[in-house]
Structures are given as structure tokens and as C-alpha cells.
A = this chain, B = another copy of it.
Amino acid sequence: MGDGEFNLINRLFRQDSGPRNSFTRLGIGDDASIHHPEEGMALAVSSDSSLQGVHWPDDFPLDKAADRAVCSALSDMAAMGAETRCIWLNVMATDSRAVAEMAQGAMRALARHDVELAGGDTCRAAVNALSVTVAGQLPEGAAMQRDAAGSGDHIWLAGRVGWHALGLQQWLAGRYDGEFVPCFEVITPLLQTGIKLRQAGVACCIDISDGLLQDAGHIAAASGVGMDIEITALPDWELLCQAAGEASALALAAHGGEDYALLFTAPDELPVAEGLAVRIGRCRSGEGVSLLLNGKKIEIEKAGFDHFR
């Protein structure tokens, strides 16, 4: 956005003056930000883009879209078990009003989760979009990875699945004040849950961004195991059936993305997980993910699942 870019960034993306944590020694305003990782701590970094018309509907408010984009990025820190430190934000916007709205939403999300903005840029574009890069810290060797599930491990889920997609369906149907719309509008990354699981020694975790079946499949493929997941064991399964009917509930639960629940594997007994998560299945030898309805394997069509994409 030319010369005006710098003043704009300074005005829109201002936080409390000075770095917010000892990790960041030099924040926005130079060619790069400078950070001092703590001794013995590893760094976790993830970067994702969110685009209007792809990751959110064209007529969805841009401040809420940016809030969601930031929170979905933070969720990757939860999945690794990292303590989130800061983000770098690239804002692509069709006009200055769009920049202002996305800045407002992004800063709101950062304030809510006490995360620092360390850098990034702003650029005029034909489409509204954000790229969010997030960094966190965790002890060396402690990261929860997708490849650490073993045959016999129990499968746990912290958080619900299907509700984001249900809210999106309501929103797309024009019921903007629908009771489930907040499940779509606001993403809550399970940052503290991720840290607690990592501290409890959980080795294998993923966040559900693309749908339970697909994301469980990433663990199965990376770990070289098969997975059996009992749908009726999902948190609030009965409520989801009441809200959407069983057929829709199955599709929502299996394929609905962006709930950012944490799927992890652990022994049968995991005291720290009580109250945070429920057991929904078990890893076995073999490959692939089987979804079970009351113990009987079922196929759940993705075609029946509505999405604005």
C-alpha cells in the first residue's frame, strides 16, 4: 500500500507498548523481529492462510473472519502442546476498510489469548486474505506428534466435533442469529488443554481442522496403525442428533471441520484427561480409520455434507 502502509500498520496493529513477554526482544518495525528462546526449549512454528470465499463465506464479517484465522492458527500450538508466544500476520485486503476490519478482529483474538503480534505486512489485493504464522515454545523432545500412536492405544477427544459445521449450515441458510451460529463464528483453540496433555506425557495429538475422519487418518497414516472410533462416544453426540437428526449428525461429526477439538492417543487411564476429554476408540494394527455406530462399522458419505466451498 505504498508509503502509507507503515503509518497504517502502526495505527491498526498497535498493542501495549513494548514486547509482552521475554521471548520477544524486538517486535514490529525492523526488517525482522528478534527473539530469545529459553534454554532447553524447542520452538514450534506453523503457518496457514485463510481466504475470503474459501475459508469463510463472502458475506461473513471480516473482523470475525480474521479472529477465526488467528485462532485456527493458534490451535496448531495446542495440537503440539506448545505455549504460544507470538504471531506474524500478513493481511491482504481489497481496501483500507477491509484492512481495518481484519486488523480489529486479529487484534481482538490476540488480546483474548494474550499473544503478541511480532511482525508481518499489509498489502492491497484482489481478495481479502490473511496468512498467520504462529510460534510457541515447549521442552525439547516433548512435542505431541502425529506419528506417535501405537497399536492398543486408546483414542481420546477433547472438545466437540460437528458443531462448527452445524453453525455454518445455519449461517449459510440465512439464520444469522441461529443457536449454533456461535459455534461457527468463534474458534476456541484448546491451548491450555494441549499444554496439560503434553505435560502429562501424551505423545500423539492432532487438532480437528479438516474433519474427524480425515484428521484421524493423518494419525493412522503417520503412525502406521488402524483406528476404530465409536461415533456414539463423541462428546454431546445425543445433542448433535437432536439438533440435526442422526443422518446429518453422522456427516457433521465425521466430516465437519474447524471445531479444533484435540484428538490424541493415550493409555486407558489418564487422570489429567478426566473432565478434559473422553475416550472415543482404540488404535489397532492395520491401517485406516473405521467409524463405528454402536459397534457396527459404517460408511459416512462426504457428499451429504454441506459446505460453502
Chain A interface residues toward B at CB < 8 A: 2-3, 25-26, 29-37, 39, 42-49, 51, 53-55, 76-77, 79-80, 82, 88-90, 92, 118-121, 123-127, 129, 131, 133-136, 140, 143, 145-147, 206-207, 214, 222, 309
A31 engages B79 (CB within 8 Å): yes
A119 engages B49 (CB within 8 Å): no
A129 engages B92 (CB within 8 Å): yes
Q: Which 9 pairs show the lowest CB-CB distances between chains A and B?
A: A131-B131, A47-B88, A32-B46, A31-B79, A32-B44, A35-B43, A49-B90, A133-B133, A31-B76
Q: Which of B49, B80, B146 is A29 in contact with, Cβ under 8 Å?
A: B146
B82 engages A32 (CB within 8 Å): yes
Give the copy number.
2
Query: Contacts of A133 on B, CB cut-off 8 Å?
Result: 45, 47, 88, 131, 133
Query: Contacts of A121 on B, CB cut-off 8 Å?
Result: 47-49
- Contacts known (A127-B125, A207-B31, A222-B29); A135 close to B53, Cβ less than 8 A: no
Query: Contacts of A77 on B, CB cut-off 8 Å?
Result: 32
- CA A184 to CA B20, docked complex, whole Å: 40
A35 engages B42 (CB within 8 Å): yes
Q: Which of B55, B131, B143 is A26 in contact with, Cβ under 8 Å?
A: B143
- CA A48 to CA B51, docked complex, whole Å: 16
Q: Which of B31, B124, B136, B140 is A206 in contact with, Cβ under 8 Å?
A: B31
- CA A214 to CA B5, docked complex, whole Å: 12
Q: Which of B120, B125, B147 is A47 in contact with, Cβ under 8 Å?
A: B120
11 pairs, CB–CB < 8 Å, chain A vs chain B = A30-B143, A31-B206, A31-B207, A32-B136, A43-B43, A45-B88, A46-B119, A47-B133, A51-B92, A92-B129, A133-B133
Q: Which of B79, B88, B124 is A32 in contact with, Cβ under 8 Å?
A: B79
- Contacts known (A47-B120, A90-B49); A32 close to B125, Cβ less than 8 A: no
Q: Which residue of chain B is the closest to A46 with respect to CB atoms?
A: B32
A156 to chain B, nearest CB (A): 16
B90 engages A26 (CB within 8 Å): no
- CA A206 to CA B77, docked complex, whole Å: 32
A113 to chain B, nearest CB (A): 16
B80 engages A32 (CB within 8 Å): yes
- CA A159 to CA B114, docked complex, whole Å: 41
- CA A309 to CA B5, docked complex, whole Å: 15
- CA A35 to CA B31, docked complex, whole Å: 22
A26 engages B124 (CB within 8 Å): no
